[in-house]
Structure 1
Amino acid sequence: MVVLSPEAVRSIFVDGLRNAHALENQALSIMNRQLDRLEKYPEVAQRLRSHVDETNGQIGRLEQILESLNESHSAMKDLGASFMGNMAALGHTVAGDEILKNSFANFAFENYEIAAYKSLIEIAQRGGFQNAIPLLEASLKEEQAMAAWMDQNLSAVTDRYLQLSIAGADASH
């Protein structure tokens, strides 16, 4: 195992926290854009609204950790990630199966966030940032719960999409 200086670990940790902050802003952009269009999938809309609240809490926890390190989030990273989130969500609006594409992308995105939090927890443990660990673990649990919900509900969303499509309705959102 390579031994890193405390300064190097701190720098990596801060960069990871800033990246996670930007990632959560991207998630908000994606979810809010989807919520604007979800008409025929109220259970998905309800869960996304709940996860928007969780995501705002995750952003707050990341800011709390950064502040404890006398650091702040990166406005440029946040802006870029939010823009990319909006573009990704817009890209699916032209698809006839928008709800399915969004469901696949959301599931993948949640698992990406899970990996990011697991990595941050590992860095926090290695760097001795013990106060950050419970905050990161709380966010990890929320992301895992959201990914599990999406996994458990993909079949129902797909079934609803099929039913609406077969009936000749616009099933895309």
Structure 2
Amino acid sequence: MGIFSADIKTMDDLFLHGLQDIYYAESQITKALPKMIELATNRDLSTGLRTHLQETEGQIKRLEQVFEKLGQEPKGTACPAIDGIIKEANETSGEVENKAVLDAAIVANCQAVEHYEIARYGTLIAWAEELGHDEVVRFLTTNLNEEKAANTKLNTVALRKGVNTKASNAA
């Protein structure tokens, strides 16, 4: 049986498993983001996280359309990677007392999530193209582009909006 939760015999099985993985991950992210929004003190950061929460809800809807086009029921499968990233984010945020440093930690933790999603969507797009699932590529590409944009916005908040500078100057 290996590391996956179900036997995977074909590339189509692997693709479906990957979709279930990212569907689960997006669902877990919608549960984790409100806490990050609540903890963030930088206005640009909290606004960006609120916007991305709405985008994530839209990404889930697009994934449901992907499942529908493939004749599958939308469902997730446990994703230890995203669970670990979220667990680490929660633990880190509980350890940081200084609010400026906490904002920098939130940015870093959210970027870890974005990088995971970017990797997963990139792989799913390549697999969809290889398998001839052209009807779902645009949905996955839209999600990928939103994740890349979210990562860029986090970089901007950290570097140009002063999160890193405030954190480095914190006593």
Structure 1 residue runs of 5 or longer lacking an equivalent are: 1-6, 167-173
What amino acid is aligned across from residue 111 of structure 2 in structure 1?
F
Which structure has the bigger radius of gyration? 1
Q: Which amino acid aligns with 1:154?
A: A
TM-score, normalised by the number of residues in structure 2 = 0.80
Q: CA deviation at 1:25?
A: 1.7
Equivalent position to 1:21, from 23, 26, 31 = 23
How far did residue 154 of structure 1 move?
1.2
The corresponding residue for 1:31 is 33
The residue number in structure 1 matching 2:60 is 59
* 1:66 counterpart letter in structure 2: F
* Partner Cα distance (1:125, 1:36) in 2: 39
Choose from 132, 135, 146 the match for 1:142: 146
Structural mapping, 1:114-125, within 5 Å: 114-125=118-129
Please tell me whether the aligned partners of residues 33 and 89 of structure 1 are also in contact (alpha carbons under 8 angstroms).
no
Q: Which runs of 5+ in 2 are unaligned?
A: 1-8
Contact 1:117–1:140 (Cα < 8 Å) also in 2: yes
Q: Deviations over 1:112-163 (max 9, x none)?
A: 1111111000000011101100000100110010111112221221123345
Quick one: which of 122, 127, 132 aligns to 1:128? 132
Q: Percent identity?
A: 24
Does the residue aligned with 2:44 lie in a helix, a strand or coil? helix
**Secondary structure of the corresponding residue to residue 36 of structure 1:** helix
- AA aligned opposite 2:90: L
- 1:37 Cα deviation (Å)? 1.9
Judged with a 3 Å threshold, the aligned counterparts in structure 2 of structure 1 residues 141 and 82 are, in CA distance, closer, same or farther, namely closer
| Count of aligned residue pairs for this structure pair | 157
Instruction: Give the CA RMSD over aligned residues.
Output: 2.3
1:66, 1:72 within 8 Å by CA — same for their partners in 2? yes
Q: Distance in 1 between matches of 2:75 and 2:140?
A: 18
